[in-house]
Each structure stands twice: as C-alpha cells, then as structure tokens.
Structure 1
C-alpha cells in the first residue's frame, strides 16, 4: 500500500523554490500555517458572528474563536488516531497534525457577514454568475484573493490579456488545499443547472482546473472511483461538528436562552425537525444503519438529551440536595416545577460546572471516532464519528439550530443582515456602481467581462465583517453624517 504522503503534496500552484534553498527547519505544512494566521482574511473572522452578534457580549464565540477551537479539536483527533488506529500505525502513514490544524483554522474563511442568511443573499445575487458558497469561497480566498504571492504580470495586474486569473493567493501546498475541499463537485454557473434549489455545495466552476491539479498532485491521478475527500478534511469536518454541538450550546446557556430543563419543554415541532434532519444526514453517511432510522423520532431526541444531561440534572447541589431528589419530590407533588427550573438555571450559571460539562462532552466525542479505510488511496481514508456518537452530536447541534438560531430573535437579525447584503450588492452591481468600490477592487472590474466583475463585487462583500457591512450600508443608504476621510 502506498504511503499517506507523496512529493506532489508539497508542491504549490506557483513554484517558489526556483533558485532557492528549501528550509530545513520548517515543513511546507508549517509554512502554510504561518501564511494563514498572518492573513487579513483570518483576522477578519473575529468580526463575523458565530451564533450571537459580537456586540452583545465579549463572552460569546465569534468565527475566529470557533476556528481556533475547531483547529485544536482536529489536531487532537489526528494525534489520537496516530496513536490508536491501525491505518496510521507505521511511521510513513502518520497523519500530519499541522495540516489538520491548518484546515480547522481555515475552514470558515469564506464565511460572509450575517451567517447563512448572508450566504443565501450572495448566492441569490450570483445565481447566474457562478453562485456563492462559504466553502467554495474559502478555497478562493487562499488561492486567489489573499495578496501573498504577486502575479507574474506584475503587482497591479490580476489577469493576463485574455482575462485569465493570474493570482495565487497564499500559494499553499496542494495537500493543504485538499484539506479544504469538503465537497467534490463544481457549482454550476447558472442556478437553473443545479440539481436542487438553494445554496449549492462545492467549489466554484472557475476553479475546476485548480481542483484537477489538487487531485493530480495528491492522488497522482484524477481518474479515481471514490469521492475526493482527504483524511485531513474528514477530521476537520468532525471537529467542526463537535465544536458546534458543544460550544454553541454553552453560549446559549450563558446567554440564558436555554437551560437543561428547558430543553425538555420545547415545541414538539422542534424535536420532530431535529429527528428528520438527523435521518437525512444519517442516510448519506451511515446507509448501513438504515433499519435503525425508523426509531429516530421526537421521543428519541428527548431520550438522547436526557442521557447527555443526566449528570448535570442529577448532580448534588451545594446544599447536598440532588436534582434527582427534587424530581422525586415533584412526582410526589411536594414542590412545584418552577423550583426545578430555577435549580437547572442555577447550575448553568455556574461557569465551573458549565466548563466541566462541555469539556466532558468533547472528550466523550473524541473517543467515539472510527476510520473507514480506503485500500487504493490511503489519502482518502475517512474519519467519522461512530454511529452512536454521531446521533448524540447531531441531537445537540440541531437542537441549538432549531431552538435558537431559528428562533424569532435571531431570525430578525439574520433577515436584516440578508437585506443589507442584498442592498449593497444591488448598489455595486448597478450601472457605474463599481465607482463605489475601493481602488483595488475597482481595478479588477475595469474593462473586465461581466462574470469577472460580478465575482469581484461578490468577493468584496463576502470579505466584510458584520460591523463593516452595517457601516458600508449606512454610508450608502443611511442618513448619518457623510465623510470622505474614512477609507472604504
């Protein structure tokens, strides 16, 4: 069986080593890591919302802190698999933790302002110009938009005379780029050519040649029968799900939107929606378990929640009165349910208890990972959660989505964000609208075909933080005092 890595993994779209001595003290993967964390796109993640807007509290996670947590979890998974999984026992088959960590840090770079509603807005605006999708944008940022490596045609020229894109972004290694390819399909140029409505998952059509080069250098061929998703990418994907399922829930507890007992008093439709979402995801990832799917319903979701929270619900309090005892008293109609709700809320307001709970969940989930080997292409070994662990992760992740993210309070914020993104795009894409762009983006649009002009406008908006999008919208449509001194 071939090894996990080959010389092609270390190559870059643009050869930088001509006439240079390779660094002996730093691997190419560590170079990629350094290029990423010094990039403006990575810094801007601090201004993009995870669940709650950043101005609400300094406690809540943003896209930057979320990415740091995903990277740490992903690296821990890689280290654990290197030590325990038979597929990575030999030295030449060890997973490179630096690549996995890089993927965790970079996976949300393409996340636009205002979350998924911002993504939907940009996709609707670009529906006949290649669409928009966060993962595809992440790949585009590191391969085109970042300004680490200059074009051979000069610093001020992004295109050759035929308008072929000559930018190289961070010029990362092919193996690091492969770690960001979650979906092995090109998004059609026209929305009418998509298989189903809504945001299409994949990479941009104009990146097809780049993706072909990634596959060729990582696998040595593009004619492989399996879906292209490297072991590093699958680990990053697991880490992202674990972070969503635990830390987003912790933020909700801190915000007071949810309590452990409150999770058992949600609308029936929420439990049913969670169950249906789990079934749909399980069909794709665990088809061998299909006979079990019929048991996944609203009651299954509540039972899973009870198992997750039993240690908190039944833990002794400071007065040595356990919540189990309180529940027994309720059954005996000695105390009212409001006392139990208050005790549940008190437990969640205890930062030590809250941290202990989330840390325990992460550790439990880390121990529930398996490897589905690929005998022909070890680069495509698939790390995934064991089915039982998958069910718990999905329950927690989706209960947060349907109970909080889909709640009226957050939906009003996201709806407003979608309206802002759409309005900015409308202004910039109108006739002579590119005059409103900063100089570097205006230069990209000058004389360019419509497809390139629209993509440049989309890139500009997608790179905005939430705050900057609000500010830019205000300068276009608001009534505040105007200024020519603050740069765009």
Structure 2
C-alpha cells in the first residue's frame, strides 16, 4: 500500500452521505466530538487536583484541549520536516480529534476510580479508560442508531447503538493498545491481574477487526497503532510532564527546589518505572537511568534557580565570610528563585513554553515497512527520559501523596458503593430511564456493563451527589490535616 490513506478508510459503520462537499469526513468527526455530552462532561473530571480546590487547576477538559494543541503542533512539524509525509501529509483534524477524545473514558476520581470500576468488572470484561473511550465513541454517545431509530436493540437483542458514527480512521486514532481485555481475572496475564489491563473490550473485538480492515486492509494486522494515535500518545505525555507540574507549583504544595530533596525511595521508584519503559519501548537502546541521572535531568530543567550572579559570586568567594553564612546566602537566593515558579505566572508560563518546545523538537518518525498508516511518532531517547522524569516525579511525589490518596481513596469507595447498590436486586431502577431501558434489554454481561457505563460517565460532583442521596455523605477536601 503506497499511500498513507487507503481508499475506504473514511467509511462509517452506518453509511451516511455527506451533504457538505466543502467539509471532509475528518472535520465532521471533529465537530461531532465537540458537540457530544461526554466531551462536555470532561470539565467535571479531575486531572490532578480536584476542581473544587481552585479554578486555576486543570480538569480533564482543559487537559484534553492542551493535548490536542500539542498533538497538532507535532503533526504540523512532521508534515513540514519529515520526508515520510511530503506527498501524503498527516491529517491535522484526525490528530486534533485524537487529542480531544483520548480521555473521554476516564471515570470520576482519576486512577482510583478506574481501579474501582475494574475491580467491580473484573469477571465481566474489566474496565479501562482507553477501552471505555472507544466504547463511548462507537456505542454510547447518542448520535446514531442502526436501522429502526425507535429502539436501541432489535428483536434479537442485538445492540443497534453506533455512538457518534465516526469514520474508521478517526476511531483508529484512539486505539492505543492492540489487545483484547479478557473476561475473568484468571484469563489475564500475571502482570495485569492487580490493575486495569490496557486494551479494548471483548465486546468491541469485531469493531477493532473492521477498523483494521478499513485502515490497512487487514483485519488480522498486529501491533496496530496509527500515526495519529502515536502523536496523541506523545502529546499526552508532554502535557502530563509539563502542565501537571505547573499545577503543582501553583498549588504551593511543592516548588522546583523541593523536587531535589524528596525521600530517596521516590527517586528509586521513578528510576524503576523509567527503566522498565525504556526496555519496552527502546529495545535497541543500551540505555538505563540511575538516581543520579534523574537529579541531572532535574538540574538541566531547573538550572535557572541555581544561577549565580556576579554579586553573589563575589560573596561566595569571599573567604573572610564564614562558610555557613556563604551557604545561607546561596540557599536564600536559590529558594527565592524557586519561589518565583510558584508565585509568578510569567515565570511559570515561560517555563512551560520552553519545556513544550524542547519536547516537540525531540520527536522523530519510525517508519513502518508495510503500512504508512502505521508509521510511529516517537521521542528521541534523551527527550523521552526528560519527559519520563518529570511525569513520574509528579506521580510518585504528588499523585501518590497522602493528601491526594485520601481523597482518591474515598472516591474509590464512592464508586464501589454505588456499583454495589445498583447491582443489587432492583437497584437498576436507580439509574435514569434511558439506562434502565438498555439494562432490561441486555444479557447478564450486558447489564453489568450498562451499570459500569452509567457510573463511568459521571463527573466527580455528580458521583458525590449520587452517593450522598444514597448514604447521606458529606463533601470532601484534600487540605484538611490527616
């Protein structure tokens, strides 16, 4: 196949004529996403810090907008600089669509919410955010039904919902993991038994075969991941490593200087995660990182706070001043510069802009020898290490910190309790009428999945309110002392 796009890759699951010749199919898909309810609900889902703590902090919606912008910038750069895309440039609308859509499947309360639903669904096909994204776009969103539009299921019980009825090429752009999530804990690989397994649901197996068939012409294609999806994946990591860090600085919980003085086990955990990912994603690279390398990366990123002016240099070199005073003076200057990142919006903006540009310059293309659609965007190894250090420092030191874990743990408990109540005898009647109707038409697995769909679609606030109606719970905050 010589061209980037095959002849049929824009076909939709439900045939539909485009009355607007001036607007291509990818742009129609983009518009459908923007106007969807699941996209709007991202504004009520937590990114790092709960939205009720401050209007400044990013939520899943603003994070997705940033990912989409970064992804589009990567695609523009590759179209302009890479010979692989000279004749058939990357479709910017599909790349931007992937960035906007990539987090649609995230449930309330972040990673703990995902774990809670996966534990509830472990013997019914599991739950995973990326798999749920594909399900939302292809099935749950209320745009298109197959055949009789008066019912979501036919007389045989077959599901007629077709979600936003997107082109197969757009659906392929959110398919990050090319493996099916099995039904039942015992069927999972050992390394995935305790946490959500990455992949797509068993119920979407035939859909994925159709996606592959339309995009590359082979339903059995392996290691399937399109160029648009790989760009979105990189953009997501860049946004995590950069803007989540900005939120942390703004919160006042940590400043740049604090990143150098965490307990040693945090750096060891960061090193372990990065080396594991290097072995998986850079098999040809004989590279590994150490704790010292992590600190070197942090120094390169934050070298400005250690800058020494001429007056300070003269003071430090003055041997008439006792060493303790010289150290105090230097520490005060460093702390002052570090505090600017937290307290000064101009410094933070310059910092994040510089980082994003640095990471964009580190993107390269790994060509696929058979299908141009499966060319991969990839970070150069040095850039990858920089991104991973910042991303995992944030995860280990903040997201896993007690103040956030207490909030997320309670969120996990909220989701499990809601799931338990709705799963009980006649509990499905607590769901809205449309979910009740779908529940009644499903088999055992379908009914359990419908309960999961209902809870996964909740915003954080709605989940708390729903829980409160059931159990009379109070609100929660992350700032109260433990």
Q: Structures share a fold, TM > 0.5?
A: yes
- Post-superposition shift, 1:312? 4.0
Q: 1:440 aligns with which of 434, 444, 452?
A: 434
- Write the mapping of 1:92-241 to structure 2, written as runs, cut at 5 A: 93-155=88-150, 157-196=151-190, 197=193, 198-224=195-221, 226-241=222-237
CA contact (8 A) 2:126 2:181 kept: yes
Asked if 1:261 is matched to 2:254, the reply is no
Give the match for residue 347 of structure 2.
353
Give the match for residue 479 of structure 2.
none
CA separation of 1:88/1:313 partners in 2, compared to 1, >3 Å: closer, same or farther? same
Give the match for residue 282 of structure 1.
278
- Post-superposition shift, 1:258? 1.6
Give the match for residue 414 of structure 1.
408
Instruction: Provide the TM-score with structure 2 as the length reference.
Output: 0.93
- Post-superposition shift, 1:158? 1.6
Give the match for residue 82 of structure 2.
85
Q: Distance in 1 between matches of 2:433 and 2:164?
A: 21
Give the match for residue 243 of structure 2.
247
**Segment drifting more, 123-132 vs 471-480:** 471-480
Give the match for residue 314 of structure 1.
307
**Segment drifting more, 256-265 vs 465-474:** 256-265
Give the match for residue 485 of structure 1.
none
CA separation of 1:85/1:12 partners in 2, compared to 1, >3 Å: closer, same or farther? same
Q: 2:30 aligns with which of 30, 33, 53?
A: 33
Give the match for residue 484 of structure 1.
none
Residue 383 of structure 1 aligns to a residue whose secondary structure is: strand
CA RMSD across the alignment: 1.8
Q: Distance in 1 between matches of 2:322 and 2:300?
A: 20
Q: Distance in 2 between matches of 1:423 and 1:23?
A: 48
Q: Distance in 1 between matches of 2:57 and 2:135?
A: 28
Q: Distance in 2 between matches of 1:234 and 1:29?
A: 17
- Post-superposition shift, 1:3? 0.6
Q: Unaligned regions of 5+ residues in structure 2, if any?
A: 475-482
Q: Distance in 1 between matches of 2:386 and 2:101?
A: 26
Q: Distance in 2 between matches of 1:202 and 1:246?
A: 26
Q: Distance in 2 between matches of 1:140 and 1:5?
A: 24
CA contact (8 A) 1:262 1:341 kept: no
CA separation of 1:315/1:7 partners in 2, compared to 1, >3 Å: closer, same or farther? farther
Deviation above 3 Å: which 4+ runs of structure 1? 324-332, 337-340
CA separation of 1:479/1:29 partners in 2, compared to 1, >3 Å: closer, same or farther? closer
CA separation of 1:473/1:343 partners in 2, compared to 1, >3 Å: closer, same or farther? same
Q: Distance in 1 between matches of 2:256 and 2:79?
A: 36
Q: Distance in 1 between matches of 2:165 and 2:202?
A: 20
CA contact (8 A) 1:79 1:97 kept: yes
CA separation of 1:309/1:166 partners in 2, compared to 1, >3 Å: closer, same or farther? same
Q: Distance in 2 between matches of 1:437 and 1:338?
A: 57
Number of aligned residues: 466
- Write the mapping of 1:317-466 to structure 2, written as runs, cut at 5 A: 332-333=323-324, 334-336=326-328, 337=331, 340-466=334-460
CA separation of 1:180/1:38 partners in 2, compared to 1, >3 Å: closer, same or farther? same
- Post-superposition shift, 1:298? 1.2
CA separation of 1:139/1:332 partners in 2, compared to 1, >3 Å: closer, same or farther? same
CA contact (8 A) 2:211 2:219 kept: no
Residue 460 of structure 1 aligns to a residue whose secondary structure is: helix
Residue 384 of structure 1 aligns to a residue whose secondary structure is: strand
Q: Distance in 2 between matches of 1:415 and 1:147?
A: 32
CA separation of 1:326/1:24 partners in 2, compared to 1, >3 Å: closer, same or farther? farther
- Post-superposition shift, 1:313? 3.3
CA separation of 1:433/1:264 partners in 2, compared to 1, >3 Å: closer, same or farther? same
CA separation of 1:119/1:326 partners in 2, compared to 1, >3 Å: closer, same or farther? farther
Asked if 1:50 is matched to 2:47, the reply is yes
CA separation of 1:271/1:213 partners in 2, compared to 1, >3 Å: closer, same or farther? same
Q: Unaligned regions of 5+ residues in structure 1, if any?
A: 481-488
- Post-superposition shift, 1:328? 7.3
Deviation digits for residues 78-125 of structure 1 (CA, Å, limit 9, x no counterpart): 0000000111122xx210010000000000000000001000000000
Give the match for residue 461 of structure 2.
467
CA separation of 1:3/1:205 partners in 2, compared to 1, >3 Å: closer, same or farther? same
- Post-superposition shift, 1:339? 5.5
Give the match for residue 14 of structure 2.
14
CA contact (8 A) 1:51 1:405 kept: yes
- Post-superposition shift, 1:327? 7.8
Q: 1:298 aligns with which of 284, 291, 294?
A: 291
- Post-superposition shift, 1:342? 4.0
